[in-house]
Amino acid sequence: MLVLPKGVRHIPGYLTRDAQVALVADVRAVVEAAPFYRPEMPSTGKPLSVRMTNCGTLGWVTDRQAGYRYQANHPETGTPWPTIPAALLRIWSDVSGYAHPPEACLVNFYEPSAKMGLHQDRDEQNFDAPVVSISLGDSCLFRVGQARRDLPTVSFRLESGDVVVLGGAARLAFHGVDRIYPSTSGLLKNGGRINLTLRRVTTPAEAETRS
């Protein structure tokens, strides 16, 4: 059996097929309001193979000029990101163990040839809340390690409807997507994979923290 690094939680089949279909409709509405754009690496301007958009009060973006950051508006249209669909807020409440709502939902679209290099999610103000990630469409080979790039990693397959939580000791774990397995799901009409990543970006105000 595969042993995941401490703090990594993989919940296979979290979403039923009906819930996945409903979530795809939610994502389509988000993409209509906030079209996918092609992100670029900081300084080099090299385009990522994944296309991205966001929903939430803050969205994660990257381009050559200003690098990795969160901002309230779409980088190309200038419009505020659409709100996070209720179904995603429910998933967060169910699995995050964190008392405050997420502020950002990054939407990644992978065509069959797309991948994502090993990286940490660390552009948030603090790391108290976990990162909650939802997979839709074609399967992928996901890789996750620990908080140092040189420590060992494990790879496993993520299928449509799976949820991964990176929290606690794994909040800063290096992770990435080695490959997509084309035509492994009929969920998305034209194939490919969608990944949704929910994150808390800012530190909640103290008043909000008292219960």
User: Using CB under 5 A as the criterion, which residues of the chain lie in contact with Fe ion when the complex forms?
Assistant: 121
Closest approach, Cβ 194 to ligand SIN, in A, equals 9
Window 103-142: residues binding ligand SIN (CB under 6 A): 106, 108, 116, 133, 142
Q: Could you tell me the smallest distance in angstroms from the CB atom of residue 18 to Fe ion?
A: 28
How many C-beta atoms lie closer than 10 Å to residue 119's C-beta? 11
SS3 letters across 31-96: HHHCCCECCECCCCCCECCCEEEEEECCEEECCCCCCCEEECECCCCCCECCCCCHHHHHHHHHHC
- Chosen from ligand SIN, Fe ion, none, partner binding at 92 (C-beta under 5 to 8 Å by type): none
Query: Is residue 65 packed enough to be buried (19+ CB in 10 Å), middle (13-18) or exposed (0-12)?
Result: exposed
| Shortest Å, Cβ 189 to Fe ion | 26
5 or 209: CB nearest ligand SIN = 5
> Least separation, in Å, of the C-beta of 30 and ligand SIN?
16
Chain contacts with ligand SIN (rule: CB under 6 A): 106, 108, 116, 133, 142, 175, 177, 195, 197
